[in-house]
Amino acid sequence: MRENQTTVNTVKQIKQNSEKASLRKEKISLKSRCIASYHKFLKSRQLLILFLPGLIFYLLFRYAPMYGILIAFKKYSPFLGVSKSPWIGLGNFKNFFNSPDFFMLFRNTLLIGFYNLLWNFPAPVIFAIILNESRIQKLKKGVQTVSYLPSFLSTVIVCSMAIDFLSPSGGVINRIIQFFGGKPIYFMIKPEWFRTVYVATGMWSGTGTSSIVYLAALTNIDPQLYEAGRVDGCGRLRSIWHITIPSILPTVITMLILNVGSIINVGYEKILILYNAATYSTADVFSTYVYRRGLQGGNFGLGTAVDLFNSVIALILLVLTNAISRKLTETSLW
Amino acid sequence: MVKSMLKRFTTLDYVITIILLGLGFVFLYPVYYTIIVSFSDTYNITAGNVKFWPLGFNVLAYKQILSNNRVPLAYWNTILYTAVGVMVNLSMTALTAYPLSRKNMWGRSFFMKMITFTMFFSGGMIPMFLLVSSLGMLNTIWSIVLPNAIWTYQMLIVRSFYMSIPESLHESANIDGASEFRIFLQIMVPLSKPAFATVGLFFFMGHWNNYLAPLIYLKDPAKYPLQVVLRQMLINDDTANYNLAIPDNLTPEAMKNATIVVSMIPVMLIYPFAQKYFVKGMMLGAVKG
């Protein structure tokens, strides 16, 4: 999500540059452009030498693996390698679409993404507003500081804490349930609880960090607005509703669009730790399937096909939300 | 002053204060709980008595994880991977960001497009694995460090930092006859300390907390970093297999939590100082409201 934001800026720059270039194109002939380009090349050769390691990195570790996608259309054999393995066309895709796993993975990926958005998108907005309303500066600063703490912890540690807290034997949550006369719940092996656990751990570890953007937007609100509101007899709750929320709405909408665009990019690092055979029916998503069945199970062709399918869907979704956002608001990635 | 403040305190203020105190507790308690469990004894952990302070205080869990080689070795591996990783990240990021920040670079907009595209589409997990394996890097530190030597997002942050440096500085150095290499090494690199601190923090956190890449690329348990060892303790619950002689008065839970605590130490140490850079890093890419 953060990546998308700088991309907004970069992409805009690229656009401007290419527009300038196209204006120039009309005036200068092709030949003189080639000469100019050659001179520019000579002039910036030192810069290009500096850039060389980066270029090699991008070609080798970002573009070369794209060639490897070919094995999605092949019957991959480790002895023959990527280029010599026999073609099987869409065989891997057919197998995948016809297997019962396909529908389950599709549903799980979408639902986990959807519930995550539903809960973890509003949480930092509300948190930022509550923080902003606090009149005890020390408390505000303290809670803000503490709220960043979870994002400094690794996925493994966060999951470990969640598993400890949810343990049916002596976990804090189950002790509370028992205190109120309930029966202990086996959270980690009940498929119906998985999404809740996923969303809740995400809320604990992400809310503080995500609220930073909104807190910045809140500090930009003109205090005179609140004063004017007070003069007009506006209470605190009403000024939150009529001043605070409208003021940060543009930021909120931009973030929402970015989030919707990446709804399918489910955080599978966390799922790989939290799920187990008992909860596959709700927890298994495309990327965990690629890891488990593809990489660990040695079905490289199938795994790559599933991964490709997932990336293409994600890319389409991003382009779509971007187009919609450009129509509705002025924010877009390109 | 306190009195006058309390007078103006409305019901809403009390509600907000209580909510914030509650939230602060929720953010902090799991970390605190992990620490106190690691110092408590078996009886109290299994009975679920540990709530707000360690019961039956002891350091057996720490003695146990230090008594065999597994955790100390993993700790050393983590330090090694993080140190090498951050160095590689920083140098590759600066080397790539600087030329891309110069307006007179040949092919700049093409290279930018080429790089931006990789943010939206990638080869995926398996082609990457095949590549790393065909380069002969499997089971070495390079399989973790090199495939992610540049984080595009962080590189773009550093690039926009370089673009914010006044052109005149560059021109004057040029007039004095400095080559691009010299300008880069002697002017730009020393100037970019604040930018390095910000992205460096994210590199540090990324490497220290990384478990997926080592899990995919490393096969030899002696090379596992801390996070992978922790994951094994957590998922497979294989503490028993590795430490055949767990004393009767020690639970795997205390050992796991002790391992978590030692793994958190460096993060907790830098946390108070790093916060500033952390917030800055989060804000750099943020959209203007």
Q: Are residues B57 and B87 in the same domain?
A: no
Q: Which of A10-14, A315-319, B89-93, B128-132 bottoms out in mean pLDDT, i.e. has the lowest?
A: A10-14
Rounded to an integer, what distance in angstroms lies between the CA atom of residue A273 and that of residue B116?
31
Q: Are residues B211 and B142 in the same domain?
A: yes
In Å, what is the CA distance from A24 to each residue of A10, A30, B110, B262?
Answer: 21, 11, 17, 61
- Beta carbons of A47 and B106 less than 8 Å apart: yes
- Beta carbons of A14 and B125 less than 8 Å apart: no
Q: Are residues B206 and B122 in the same domain?
A: yes
Give the chain B residue nearest A262 (alpha carbons). B120
CB-facing half-sphere around the CA of A158: CA atoms within 13 A: 26
**Hey, what amino acid is at B64?**
Q
pLDDT tens column, B80-130: 999 999 999 999 999 999 999 998 889 999 999 999 999 888 999 999 999
Residue B20 lies in a domain: yes
Q: Are residues B121 and B252 in the same domain?
A: no
Q: Are residues B132 and B74 in the same domain?
A: yes
Would you place residue A208 in the very low, low, confident or very high pLDDT band (cuts 50, 70, 90)? very high
pLDDT recorded at residue A19: 62
Q: Are residues B112 and B63 in the same domain?
A: no
> Which of B217, B244, B261 marks a domain boundary?
B217
Q: Are residues B16 and B54 in the same domain?
A: yes
**At residue A18, does pLDDT exceed 70?**
no
pLDDT tens column, B133-158: 999 999 999 999 999 999 999 999 99
Q: Are residues B16 and B110 in the same domain?
A: no
* A68 touches A81 (CB < 8 A): no
Provide the 10 A C-beta neighbour count for residue B146: 19
- Beta carbons of B264 and A5 less than 8 Å apart: no
Number of domains in chain B: 2
Residue B289 lies in a domain: no
Residue B227 lies in a domain: no
Q: Residue B23: its chain A contacts at CB < 8 A?
A: 127, 130, 143, 147
Q: Are residues B39 and B114 in the same domain?
A: no
Q: Are residues B173 and B277 in the same domain?
A: no
Q: Which CATH number fits the domain that encloses residue B119?
A: 1.10.3720.10
Which of A68, A255, A276 is nearest residue B127 as measured by Cβ atoms?
A: A68
**Average pLDDT for A36-62:** 91
Q: Which of A23-37, A224-238, B157-171 bottoms out in mean pLDDT, i.e. has the lowest?
A: A23-37
Is the ipTM higher than 0.90? The answer is no
pLDDT recorded at residue A113: 94
Residue B226 lies in a domain: no
Q: Which residues contact B281 (CB under 8 A, 6 or more apart)?
A: B157, B198, B199, B201, B202
Which of A21, A46, A143 is nearest residue B181 as measured by Cβ atoms?
A: A46
**Average pLDDT for B156-178:** 89
- Beta carbons of B92 and A54 less than 8 Å apart: yes
Give the chain B residue nearest A58 (alpha carbons). B115
Residue B120 lies in a domain: yes
**At residue A21, does pLDDT exceed 70?**
no
Q: Between chain A and chain B, how many beta carbons pairs sit less than 8 Å apart?
A: 301
Residue of B7, B37, B126 to mutate, testing the A interface (most A Cβ within 10 Å of its Cβ) = B126
**At residue B271, does pLDDT exceed 70?**
yes
Q: Which of A141-145, B244-248, B259-263 bottoms out in mean pLDDT, i.e. has the lowest?
A: B244-248
pLDDT tens column, A124-142: 999 999 999 998 889 999 9
Give the chain B residue nearest A13 (alpha carbons). B109
Give the chain B residue nearest A48 (alpha carbons). B99
Rounded to an integer, what distance in angstroms lies between the CA atom of residue A311 and that of residue B172?
47
Residue B230 lies in a domain: no
Q: Residue A273: its chain B contacts at CB < 8 A?
A: 231, 234-235
Written as six digits, the tokens of B259 are 């391992």
Q: Could you give all domains of chain A from N- to C-terminal order, each with its CATH number?
A: 94-328 (1.10.3720.10)
- Beta carbons of A220 and B289 less than 8 Å apart: yes
Q: Are residues B63 and B77 in the same domain?
A: no
Which domain range does residue B157 map to?
70-217
**At residue A31, does pLDDT exceed 50?**
yes
Residue B193 lies in a domain: yes
pLDDT recorded at residue B244: 44
- Beta carbons of B17 and A136 less than 8 Å apart: yes
Percent of all residues in chain A with a pLDDT value above 70, rounded to a whole number: 90
- Beta carbons of B123 and A127 less than 8 Å apart: no
- Beta carbons of B130 and A160 less than 8 Å apart: no
pLDDT recorded at residue B240: 46
Residue B229 lies in a domain: no
Residue of B50, B93, B106, B187 to mutate, testing the A interface (most A Cβ within 10 Å of its Cβ) = B106
Rounded to an integer, what distance in angstroms lies between the CA atom of residue B280 and that of residue B194?
10
Q: Are residues B180 and B59 in the same domain?
A: no
pLDDT recorded at residue B289: 26
Give the chain B residue nearest A81 (alpha carbons). B130
* B255 touches B239 (CB < 8 A): yes
Q: Render the burial of A47-75: b for 16+ CB within 10 Å, e for the rest.
A: bbebbeebbebbeebbebbeebbbbbbbe
